[in-house]
Amino acid sequence: MSTDHESPKAHRPEGAHEPHAFFAHHFNTPDQQAGAAKLGMWVFLSTEILMFSGLFLAYFIVRMFYPDMVLAAHEHLNKTAGGINTVVLITSSVTMALAVRAAQVGNTPAIKRNLLLTIMFAGVFMVVKYFEYTAKFEHGMLPGKYYTAFEHGYYIPGNPHIFFAVYFCMTGLHGIHVLVGIGVLTWVYIRASKGHFGPNYYTPVENVGLYWHLVDLIWIFLFPLLYLVR
């Protein structure tokens, strides 16, 4: 066997990009690295969709079992707040897409600006969610055995504790994803500040973007299903 350690460069096809600073040793070319990262992200997103699909299935089954209850219970969700959040998230998807575009052309100030806007919108979403949740807590509209809305003067026929269980599970899991999103957006923002991204290397921005679009997409399904049953 050849005894010298050959550098990865030795096996790179002619005309490939020069490796960037974040090129990992076990890949042959930066393109291979970027392709792997992107494929990995898509596979990950499909697992996310499947995880949420379990909850969507639970939702549909509950709705099939108790259509009247779901209809009555959903009236107690705040459509205005949900609507605002929908607009906020869609806007944040736009700013995210702009950030990715900025990374591709190597415009660091624009990456930072758009990422900051995205983080801000995510924050607004969480604040609105906070007020929604607080209202539900105050009215005793809680899952399972903690459901006490009848003590607060709200009477919902049937088994509303199941509806609110599904509501909290779905929006809760989605909320956790938004929080994780804020985390990774911040991480990408810090890396962008250090000038890591340019036309040769923007995979992290792109992948975080994909993730963020998925979080957005899930909300776009959650909103009509939970808030706009009628």
Partner 1 sequence: MADDKSKHDAEHAEGHGKREPSYLVAQRGLKSWLFTIDHKRLGLMYLGSTLLFFFVGGVAAILFRTELLTPAGDFIPWLLSHLPTALGGTGGDVEAAVAQSATTYNKLFTVHGAVMVFLVIIPAVPGSLGNFLLPLMLGAKDVAFPRLNLLSFWVYTLGACFFLYTLFAGGLDTGWTFYTPYSSTTGTAVVSALFGAFILGFSSILTGLNFMVTIHKMRAPGMTWNRMPLFCWSIYATAVIQVLATPVLAITLLLLVVERTLNIGIFDPAMGGDPVLFQHFFWFYSHPAVYIMILPGFGIISELVAVHSRKHIFGYKAIALSSVAIAIISFIVWGHHMFVSGQSELAAIVFSFLTFAVAVPTAIKVFSWVATLYKGSIQFNTPMLYALMFLFTFSIGGLTGVFLGTLSVDVHLHDTYFVVAHFHYVMMGGTIIAFIGGLHHWWPKMTGRTYSVWQSKWAALLVFIGFNMTFFNQFVLGQQGMPRRYYTYVPQFQQQHMMSTIGSYILFLGLLWIAIYLLASLRRSAAPKEPLPDNTWGGASLEWSTQTPPIEHNFHGQPRVDTDPYNFPQIDRTGEVDHH
Contact residues toward partner 1 (CB under 8 A) are 1-3, 5-6, 10-11, 24-28, 32, 35-36, 39-40, 43-44, 46-48, 50-55, 57-58, 61-62, 65-66, 142-146, 158-159, 161-162, 165-166, 169
Q: Which of 46/80 has CB closer to partner 1?
A: 46
Structure tokens at 6: 């050959």
The answer to whether 214 and 65 have CB atoms below 8 angstroms apart is no
Structure tokens at 189: 């923002």
Cα separation, 230 vs 227, whole angstroms: 9
Nearest-CA neighbor of 99 among 84, 114, 89?
114
User: In angstroms, what is the minimal distance from the CB of 68 to partner 1?
Assistant: 13
Q: Which of 54/224 has CB closer to partner 1?
A: 54
Q: Which of 6/14 has CB closer to partner 1?
A: 6
Task: Work out the burial of residue 18: count CB atoms within 10 Å of its CB; fewer than 13 is exposed, 13-18 middle, 19 or more buried.
Answer: exposed
Structure tokens at 110: 């624009």
User: In angstroms, what is the minimal distance from the CB of 40 to partner 1?
Assistant: 5
Question: What region does 107 belong to: left with phi over 0, alpha with psi -120 to 50, or beta?
Answer: beta
User: In angstroms, what is the minimal distance from the CB of 24 to partner 1?
Assistant: 8
Q: Which of 12/196 has CB closer to partner 1?
A: 12
Q: Which of 36/71 has CB closer to partner 1?
A: 36
User: In angstroms, what is the minimal distance from the CB of 54 to partner 1?
Assistant: 3
